[in-house]
Amino acid sequence: MNILVVDDDAVMVELLQYFLEEIGMSVITAHSPPEALPYLQKQKLDLVLSDAVMPGGGYERLLSDIQNTQPDLPVILMSGYGAFDLNLPPDQTRGFWRKGEGIDHLLDLVKAVN
């Protein structure tokens, strides 16, 4: 499974890449929606795992870019904020992981997409 991880926190990106690769996933990383766009345009992806709040437009910009490039691409959003606090669109995402919850919950969400 090819996963694009998008987060402005370099440490979080590194940790997620480590855990996802440990379960056999192939991981590409970006630190903002603008940085993710070329991957969306050129890579065959199976999942996007993205921070919801970050510079460069956050999840709104990223979801728009996905709709324009790979509209059927599943997305899991994550944040230190709750999903209800962010008013996330449930019809455009496959799950939500609150940063700080157990990593097993996130890995279960990822495996469920496959």
What pLDDT shows up at residue 55?
A: 85
Residue spans of alpha helices (H) in the chain: 10-22, 33-42, 58-69, 83-86, 103-113
Q: How many domains does the chain divide into?
A: 1
pLDDT at residue 83 in the model: 64
Residues 31-88: tens digit of each pLDDT: 999 999 999 999 999 999 999 988 888 888 999 999 999 999 999 999 887 666 666 6
**pLDDT for res 5:** 98
pLDDT value of residue 92: 72
Whole-model pTM: value is 0.92
Q: Which bin fits 91, alpha (ψ -120 to 50), beta or left (φ > 0)?
A: alpha
Structure tokens at 32: 């903002």
Domain holding 46: CATH number?
Answer: 3.40.50.2300
Q: Which domain holds residue 38?
A: 2-113
pLDDT score of 6: 97
